[in-house]
Amino acid sequence: MKCRVLECGECSITQGYKSSHKANDMVAIKSKKKTIDNVVAHTDGKVIAIATGHKNKKGSTGIDSYGNYVQIQHSNGYTTLYAHLDSVYVKVGQTVKKGQKIGVMGNTGNSYGAHLHFEVRKTSAYSSLIDPTPYINSNLPNIEKTVTYRVGNGHWYATVSNGAIAGNQKTRIDRLQIKTKNAGKIYYKAHIKGNKWLPEVTKWDDTSNGYAGIYNNSIDGIAIKSEKGKLSYRVKTKKSGWLPYVSGYNVNDYKNGYAGNLGEEITAIQIKIN
């Protein structure tokens, strides 16, 4: 099966989750053969605990049973733990990226053959262990930021997310809606051609302040910021095509700028978040 905690990306589960073993044990699969592999971080995070110097010790209990291990804390508060490692490549306090090598599978601690013991916990505590099976190749809950948006001209065009193009790229737009997930509050506003910036919008609904824009008025500038999450966005205008991405606006401050050339009608937008 696909498995994002091993460098090769393929694993076989040798012992599943049960009340007496709240983890997944796995070996790597390379060229259809069971083998060892480098262990990589499941998700971006910070190393909060490691153990090194352990040898194989069958029958050991408690923390010693893990042998050499790494525990990483993620932005949603969850932790992942990787045990029985042969070598550990990271230090406590170190920031790691998803897919970064953190150690090599091994046979240290209470282990009967080289394998990775992979745990997911809702906090750092042992008592918060949950079934890791759904996450072996999937994101942890509430961790991936999403930006969803649509534009329109008298009616709405298709809703898109995370960098896709909204708008038909030919027709000027007169309305805009944006929302985010796992990125806190959203703030956005539109500039009307030949006129002014409209009031800031912070939601997405059908009321008059649930979107930015005025019916039948061309939008020629947009500004967006989110409470968490870094947004970058660009617009396409009838006159100039795609303009450069703008990004990094402080949540309290629009004065860094906006996307658009005032006077040029916008026909499409793209918004990314990370």
Binding residues for Zn ion, rule: CB under 5 A, are: 23, 25, 117
Q: Which is nearer to Zn ion, 116 or 166 (CB)?
A: 116
Q: 150: number of CA atoms within 13 Å, CB side?
A: 14
CA-CA distance, 16 to 88, in Å (whole number)? 24
Q: Which is nearer to Zn ion, 26 or 96 (CB)?
A: 26
CA-CA distance, 90 to 94, in Å (whole number)? 7
Q: Which is nearer to Zn ion, 117 or 150 (CB)?
A: 117
In this structure, how many other beta carbons lie within 10 angstroms of the beta carbon of residue 25? 21
Q: Which is nearer to Zn ion, 132 or 221 (CB)?
A: 132
- Asked if 270 contacts 163 with a C-beta cutoff of 8 angstroms, the reply is yes
Minimum Å gap between C-beta 221 and Zn ion is 56
CA-CA distance, 171 to 179, in Å (whole number)? 23
Minimum Å gap between C-beta 88 and Zn ion is 17
CA-CA distance, 234 to 245, in Å (whole number)? 5
Q: Which is nearer to Zn ion, 25 or 264 (CB)?
A: 25
Minimum Å gap between C-beta 25 and Zn ion is 4
Q: CB nearest Zn ion: which residue?
A: 117
Minimum Å gap between C-beta 8 and Zn ion is 19
| Parallel/antiparallel/unpaired status of strands 95-96 and 45-51 | antiparallel
Q: Which is nearer to Zn ion, 23 or 192 (CB)?
A: 23
Whole-angstrom CA distances from 186 to 82, 117, 205, 249, 260 are 36, 40, 13, 12, 19
- Asked if 22 contacts 128 with a C-beta cutoff of 8 angstroms, the reply is no
Minimum Å gap between C-beta 123 and Zn ion is 20
Minimum Å gap between C-beta 219 and Zn ion is 56
CA-CA distance, 143 to 140, in Å (whole number)? 6
Concatenate the DSSP letters of all residues of 106-158 into one string.
B--BS-SSSBEEEEEESSSSGGGEE--GGGTTSPPTT-S-EEEEEEESSSB--
Dihedral of the alpha carbons of 197, 198, 204, 208, in degrees to the nearest 10 = -170
Q: Which is nearer to Zn ion, 23 or 114 (CB)?
A: 23
Minimum Å gap between C-beta 62 and Zn ion is 14
Q: Which is nearer to Zn ion, 129 or 190 (CB)?
A: 129
Minimum Å gap between C-beta 22 and Zn ion is 9
